[in-house]
Amino acid sequence: MINEHVSESDIQLYAWTPDAVAKTAIAHIEQCDHCRNAALSYQFIFGEIKDAPKPSFNFDLGSLVLQQLPLKKSASERSSILIWFWICISLLVVVPLYIFQSDLAVLFKGVSIFVIYSLAAAALIILIFRILEIYRRYQRKMDILNFS
């Protein structure tokens, strides 16, 4: 048996989980009135805390938080922006083609068919690599999202 009183933290630990305290401390607590009373007080307090009702808000926290969040752009808004983007791009391509349609034949007149096909093949290869790169980036992002 320990002659000095057991520390406050050991008494609290004894009140919460008696098995976690050293056997000498348990022997002292069981024989010392002062330490046993302190342990009983802590057991009473811990019991009251366990039995206390869980804290809850008297208002709807979810709706208050949702009101604070910024509104996301709707799908129709995003698709209209995308449509306007493609209309602008098409105008940038179609209008010059219409204006210079008589000169287009002259543009490719002196160029051999091999050069034209080589340019088309190079453009196609670049396009394929860009699409593959976009797909790989998309896959990486999806992997990150699925991991977390």
**Positive or negative torsion for Cα 73, 77, 79, 81:** negative
Report in angstroms how near the CB of residue 19 gets to Zn ion at its nearest: 19
> Residues touching Zn ion: how many (CB under 5 A)?
4
Q: Which stretch binds Zn ion (CB under 5 A): 15-23, 32-40, 48-56, 112-120?
A: 32-40
CB atoms within 10 A of CB 30: 13
Q: Which stretch binds Zn ion (CB under 5 A): 8-16, 27-35, 99-107, 115-123?
A: 27-35
CB atoms within 10 A of CB 28: 23
> In terms of CB distance, is 27 or 127 closer to Zn ion?
27
Task: Give exposure, 36-53, as e/b (b: 16+ Cβ within 10 Å).
Answer: eebbeebbeeeeeeeeee
Distance CA 5, CA 72 (A): 63
Choose, by CB under 5 A, the member of 11, 15, 21, 35 that binds Zn ion: 35
Q: Which stretch binds Zn ion (CB under 5 A): 13-21, 26-34, 58-66, 82-90?
A: 26-34
Q: Which stretch binds Zn ion (CB under 5 A): 13-21, 31-39, 102-110, 135-143?
A: 31-39
Quick check: 11 binds Zn ion (CB under 5 A)?
Answer: no
Report in angstroms how near the CB of residue 9 gets to Zn ion at its nearest: 14
Choose, by CB under 5 A, the member of 11, 21, 32, 39 that binds Zn ion: 32
Ordered DSSP codes for 89-113: HHHHHHHHHHHTHHHHHHHTTSS-H
Minimal CA–CA distance to 21: which of 41, 2, 47? 2
Name the residues that contact Zn ion, by CB under 5 A. 5, 32, 34-35
